Chains A and B, each alone.
Chain A
Amino acid sequence: MAVAATTEAGARPARAGRRLSAPSWVGTVPFLAYVAVFLLWPTGIVVVDSLKNPAGGWAFANITKLGDPLVRGYFIGSFKLCLLSSVFGAVLGAILAYAIASGDPDGPMRRLYLAVSGVLAQFGGVTLAFAFLVLIGPVGLLFHASWFYSFPWGITVIYTYFQIPLMVLVFLPAIDGVKVQWREASENLGASAWQYWRYVGGPLLMPAFLGGALLLFANALSAFATIAAWENQIAYIVPQQISTALSSEVGLSNVNVADLLALGMIILVAVVMTGYALLQRRAARWLR
């Protein structure tokens, strides 16, 4: 009796679906509709609007305005900040991840650092800028850093604060995936510690490391709150300029500046994230 029921409901779920007289993908419609309205539609608006002139006609020449020296300046600023903060974040995060991974897998240090990383990776935002302001800013309790308001160094230090935990979260699985046997095999063949890292461990972890660094880059690229609270007068990076463009109508003639800058960001992030996905796939080949 029970066996018959299992076959009926379990092994042939298609029949249950037909009884409802609706294909089973209908169940995903709410999700798909939500994403379409609040994610795909806005993105589409940005892309379409950035390629139109104020009269409403198509103007693909707009895209060349991304090369405008003024616009380029913001992208260069963004690039500097993202590169510096992702390089520091990736290297330091990898070191911390290694220290965590080399300990007891159920130890308190691992638990603590993983939990803290989870919170701090999200802890960008205005609060972070305030915290550094009272630590090393003009009113700093630790010391007064003369470079606190200099771009990109002052803000890079602040960004590193949330980049390191993110790297730990992304990179730790890769380090955990390195098998003891690989180490043992290379030692049996007479490899020194340096040779192991140079020829086995390093190359194995490299895709995961570079992938993590790219993710950090994209993360820094889209961050806005921290830098807005750090400096609200001068625009150094693209998100700041988008914000300025949205709140004032002054800008490049004939072009919706915010849309164009946003399009530039979409392109940049898409390139970076594609690289990340490719590297992750490469990394997954060995790990796990």
Chain B
Amino acid sequence: MTDTTGTSVEVRLPSRLGFEKVAMATAASVARLKGFSDERIEDLKTAVAEACINAIEHGNHLNENLSVGIILSTSADELEVKVLDNGSGISKQPPKPDIDRKVHGEEDPRGMGMFLIQALVDEAEWVHDSKGKGSYVRLVIRLDKENA
């Protein structure tokens, strides 16, 4: 395992669906260097993908002139991923998806992204830049959860 403590990796993606895979691969590489298990790396990949898709679709409205920033930072026992876009962020958390309502046509079948992010990482927060320069989602996975 490589000592990654205190390191930071940055990636910029065009706001085009599909490029979230670049962020997934980068996050997986850093998490692997940090010593996370395959199961946690898969969790992180899905959370990062959903955060990037939200940034591309809802933050930057698929405007390819805008980019999505990914900043991966490590400390002794955790990996933090920030996904930044030019949008105004979310005003409130959507309700938890209800599969019965979805299957019976009472709720949009979409709208699982934020739920998955929250379910798959140890910490997730959506932050609006008070200077109006965009927003970001911050995800954290912790090594101590590996043995939980």
Asked if A and B are interacting partners, one says no
Q: Which A residues contact B (CB, under 8 angstroms)?
A: none
